[in-house]
Structure 1
Amino acid sequence: MKSVPVRCPACHRDHAYVAPAYPCPCGAPTAPPLVPDAPAVPVTRRTWDEDWVTVRCAACDRRDQWPQPELCCPCGALLRIPVRPVGETEPPPGPVRPAHIPLPRTAAHPRPSFRPRTIRTGHDAVSAAALYLTWLGYREVVRPQTRPAGGIDLRATGLVAQVDASTRPVELRGVECLWLNALGASAAGVFFSLAGYEADARARADGVGLPLFVMDLTGVPQPVNSPADELVSTGA
């Protein structure tokens, strides 16, 4: 799959992005066609209607709704990658631009490839996070029958996790509440968010060693701080 260069408008870091492919009902892998020279758009507030794009299968010509491609920059900005509208032809290739060297956390690891679950609802977001925690090696990942007042969405052996599926970045209070809940349970804490984190929330998470992940609608969590990087590298 061909990558496109993406520059973060917040920190000006360059990335090479490849759109994830999904199986069409006909069986052919299908990926949203990216626009190589269009600037990425920061996501500051989510709306479910804007988070889906129409994609045409090149094999059977079927048109379906797929998650809008997104990239989480290490600076914390969540970026929406422009997609070429259905029916618009691809322009001829231009000059080759140097690709960004992937961060160490993007290197291959011994675990099998993670199989995500597409997110369409808040319930899907929690399910996707549970799948990811299981992939990381946590055992007996379960959802409490009743969501506690502290906001814990998932529990596992030695772990509590929270999943924020709202359209606003997680605030400092949310990170502190999860950290305190983890301390009270003598467990590790992990936070998942669809809309990212406020700057002071990220700073507090870094200070207390709380892993933060951002999920796009493909259901693939991306680490956004050093504790999350370390968790991905070492596993549970």
Structure 2
Amino acid sequence: MDARNDMLRLLQSRKPGYSLEQPFYTDPDYFKLDMELMWYRDWLFIGHDCELPKPGSYITVQIGDYPVVLVRDQKGRINAFHNSCRHRGSRVCNTDKGTAAKLVCPYHQWTYELDGRLLFARQMADGFDKSQFGLKPVACESVGGYIFICLAKEPADFAPMRAMIEPYLLPHRLSEAKVAFESTIVEKGNWKLVWENNRECYHCAGNHPELCKTFPEAPTVTGVQGADSDPEMLAHWAKCEAAGLPSRFRIDP
């Protein structure tokens, strides 16, 4: 049985409220399908506008097999490209972040504008058309100070997602923020384990007591269940939304 059909069978037989079966966390073929069906197709939050404070600022990220560079151009726009030179595939930007007037491949010095256009390639044959060899673009959108990218050749329409999240983000003016401190945590486990932990607070009292000082541990408050019928939550939402701050829990568009 191939991995795709095996995965579908296990999903269809899964009991509500129970964890996924072991292969979803450990099987390399399942992980490959995760990447192909989600990570390489869907819009991904990848960083913040404030990480690219001026023209020439760039950051690099790795999404599975794909290295990506995000850079702010001279017009202030944030662009995303496959971090791969069009000549021999060398990585153009080799550091996690930096600032550059132009993007220059270290291998043969092919030079790209911040908007991805190829500016210089020495000793090319007659008839070489620079306009056909710019960096390959990656779909990129910025909303409320958050940057999203999509690796798909035909990305899903971002408009519904923008319409849902923009009212939540804009009041906080995150596009005007500055990076004061950075910390990197590398989780040595399947990505679903990280998200399952992130999306529940059943473990918070025993592991994050300082976090629990900021809100009650009740499932209605943490978004687990029944928030729409909790008088305390309804009052909190009404207060926030009266101040122009959307606050109700939303799962998807």
Q: Normalising by structure 2, what TM-score?
A: 0.27
Q: Which has the larger radius of gyration?
A: 2
Q: Normalising by structure 1, what TM-score?
A: 0.29
